[in-house]
C-alpha cells in the first residue's frame, strides 16, 4: 500500500498531499506540531514500511533520519557482548525514533529494532536539526517527548531491579496495547523473553497464568488481551507511573 504522499505513477515524485495530513497525524507528535510545521517538513518526509526484526540503527550508528511510527512499534535495546538483548524503551505512534539525531549526539550505543511491523514516516535528520537550531515550540515538543521516554526508562531500570516476571510481562503487554489500534499484540514468547531479558520458560509460565485467569488468549504468536483491567492490577506501579508522566508531558493521550 502506497504511503501518503508517494505517487508511484510519477516515478517517485510526490503528488499533492491530502490537505489534512490524516495519515501523518496518526503519529501523535506530528499531530501536535505547531500549525504550518507539518507542511514545511512534508517534502522531506518519506513513508516507510517497517518489517518486524528490521534494525533501524545499529549501536554506534549515526542517525541520518528519524522515524515517526504510525502503526509500527520500535524497541530500543541494548545488545550485550554475550549476545543477550534487553529492551529499555518502546516507541510507537506516540513518539519518534532516533532522538540522538536531535540531542546533538547523532549516534547512541543502543540499537533500534522494529518489534511490530507497520508503517511510519521517515524525516531527514538535517532537516529536523535545522528546524531545532534555536529553542522554539518544535524543540519544546520534542524535548517533552524525550523526557517522557526518560520516565519510561527510569521505570524500566527500577522495575528490572525490583519486580517479578509476571508484573513485567503485564507492564510490557500494556505498553504494547497503548501503542496499538487493536487489542492484539503480535509477539511470540521468545520475542517477549528477549525484550524483557529473561528466559523463554519464564514468559511461557507467566503467559499461562494470565491465560488461566482469563486475562489474555494466546495463540501462536498472537496475544489477544481480554481483560485489560486485570493486566493493570497485576502489573507493578511502573506501568502507571510512566504512563501518567507521558500524559502529563504530552498534549494527546495514548491509545485506549
Closest to 12 measured CA to CA, from 47, 56, 54, 63:
47
CA 38/CA 30 separation, integer angstroms: 7
The least distance separating another protein from the CB of residue 222, rounded to whole angstroms, comes to 26
**Which residue is listed with cell 511461557?**
204
- CA-based R_g, the chain, Å: 18
The least distance separating another protein from the CB of residue 149, rounded to whole angstroms, comes to 8
The least distance separating another protein from the CB of residue 87, rounded to whole angstroms, comes to 9
* CB half-sphere exposure, 108, CA atoms < 13 A: 19
Strand, helix or coil for residue 126: helix
CA 40/CA 138 separation, integer angstroms: 12
Is residue 10 exposed (0-12), middle (13-18) or buried (19+ Cβ within 10 Å)? exposed
DSSP letter for each residue of 122-134: EEEHHHHHHHTSS
Sites of contact with another protein (CB under 8 A): 76, 78, 80-81, 84, 86, 88-89, 99-100, 102-105, 108-110, 133-135, 139-140, 143-144, 146-147, 149-151, 153-158, 160-162, 196-198, 237, 241, 244-245, 248-249
**184-186 and 216-219 beta bridge pairing:** unpaired
CA 242/CA 189 separation, integer angstroms: 24
The least distance separating another protein from the CB of residue 220, rounded to whole angstroms, comes to 27
Residue 37 or 160: the one with the smaller Cβ distance to another protein is 160
Closest to 91 measured CA to CA, from 37, 153, 41, 44:
153
The least distance separating another protein from the CB of residue 65, rounded to whole angstroms, comes to 18
The least distance separating another protein from the CB of residue 81, rounded to whole angstroms, comes to 5
Amino acid at each position: 500500500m502506497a504511503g501518503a504522499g508517494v505517487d508511484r505513477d510519477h516515478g517517485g515524485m510526490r503528488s499533492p498531499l491530502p490537505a489534512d495530513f490524516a495519515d501523518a497525524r496518526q503519529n501523535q507528535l506530528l499531530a501536535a506540531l505547531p500549525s504550518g510545521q507539518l507542511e514545511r517538513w512534508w517534502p522531506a518526509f518519506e513513508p516507510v514500511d517497517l518489517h518486524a526484526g528490521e534494525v533501524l540503527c545499529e549501536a554506534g550508528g549515526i542517525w541520518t533520519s528519524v522515524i515517526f511510527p504510525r502503526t509500527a512499534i520500535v524497541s530500543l535495546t541494548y545488545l550485550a557482548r554475550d549476545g543477550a538483548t534487553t529492551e529499555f524503551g518502546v516507541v510507537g505512534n506516540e513518539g519518534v525514533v532516533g532522538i540522538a539525531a536531535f540531542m546533538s549526539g547523532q549516534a547512541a550505543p543502543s540499537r533500534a529494532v522494529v518489534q511490530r511491523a507497520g508503517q511510519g514516516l521517515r524525516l531527514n535528520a538535517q532537516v529536523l536539526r535545522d528546524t531545532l537550531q534555536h529553542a522554539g515550540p518544535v524543540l519544546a515538543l520534542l524535548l517533552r517527548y524525550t523526557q517522557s521516554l526518560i520516565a519510561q526508562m527510569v521505570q524500566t531500570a527500577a522495575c528490572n531491579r525490583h519486580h517479578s516476571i509476571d508484573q513485567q510481562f503485564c507492564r510490557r503487554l500494556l505498553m504494547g496495547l497503548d501503542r496499538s489500534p487493536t487489542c492484539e499484540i503480535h509477539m511470540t514468547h521468545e520475542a517477549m523473553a528477549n525484550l524483557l531479558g529473561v528466559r523463554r520458560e519464564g514468559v511461557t509460565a507467566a503467559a499461562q497464568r494470565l491465560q488461566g485467569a482469563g486475562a489474555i488468549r494466546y495463540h501462536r504468536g498472537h496475544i489477544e488481551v481480554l481483560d485489560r483491567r486485570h493486566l493493570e492490577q497485576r502489573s507493578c506501579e511502573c506501568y502507571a507511573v510512566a504512563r501518567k508522566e507521558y500524559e502529563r508531558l504530552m498534549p494527546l493521550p495514548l491509545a485506549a
